[in-house]
A and B are shown apart, each in its own frame.
Chain A
């Protein structure tokens, strides 16, 4: 059974640009969440999608957005990139419902903004 696949693994972007990250969840999983990991702030929740609807949103500016497609694949977009957006972005999928199932994480996309 394939795991959570995130593409690309690495990205280098320039300040002011925008970027789109992709996540393919485990087959059958309907919930996809995104997290930002930085050395200073640790792991912070960005948003969660369930059946194409945003179910929860973390405390991030509107430059961060996401969506989920009918096949449960998800994308997140960051516009007008800032240096502080450099981070490891992790996607996690779950069957859905509450967090009792636990999440399966992908290997992440490492974004560097220069």
Chain B
């Protein structure tokens, strides 16, 4: 079945450092790919998405590129802020389906 694998956290960075959170997936065809973020005590917020190969999703300084050849959708940000501290989830939606399959989540902690 479909699956998503994320790097385990926590990822601990200093403010203004470069962020990469790795995400790889297993699915047939060309699924849609998403990054969601969850702040403490809250639900999930859609951060960015990509629906076809080589698409780049971007939002609030975060970027991720849909790489079909490596089945990856790594999340990057050039300069993190303390306010980016949260749990980040990579997810996919299989072709023709609307349900989401999530990775385990990666906690990001940014210190001043």
Contact = CB atoms under 8 A, between A and B. Distances in A.
Nearest to B49: A102
B102 interface: yes
Interface in B14-56: 32, 34, 36, 41-46, 49, 51
Name the interface size band of chain B. Answer: 20 to 34
Given A100-B51, A102-B49, A94 B98 contact: yes
A56 B99 contact: yes
A48 B43 contact: no
Interface string A73-114: 000000000000000001010101111101111111000000
Given A98-B96, A98-B97, A103 B104 contact: no
Interface of A: 4, 6, 31, 33, 35, 42-43, 45, 48, 50, 55-56, 58, 90, 92, 94, 96-100, 102-108
Interface string B83-112: 000000100011111111111110000000
Nearest to B52: A100
11 contacts: A35-B100, A42-B103, A43-B89, A45-B101, A48-B98, A56-B98, A56-B99, A98-B98, A99-B94, A99-B100, A107-B42
A107 B51 CA distance: 26
B51 to A, nearest CB: 5
B102 A43 contact: yes
A22 to B, nearest CB: 15
A31 B32 CA distance: 17
B98 A97 contact: yes
B34 A102 contact: yes
A101 B43 CA distance: 18
A21 to B, nearest CB: 13
A55 B98 contact: yes
A48 B32 contact: no
Given A90-B43, A108-B43, A99 B93 contact: yes
A31 B99 CA distance: 10
A99 B89 contact: no
B99 A45 contact: yes
B101 A56 contact: no
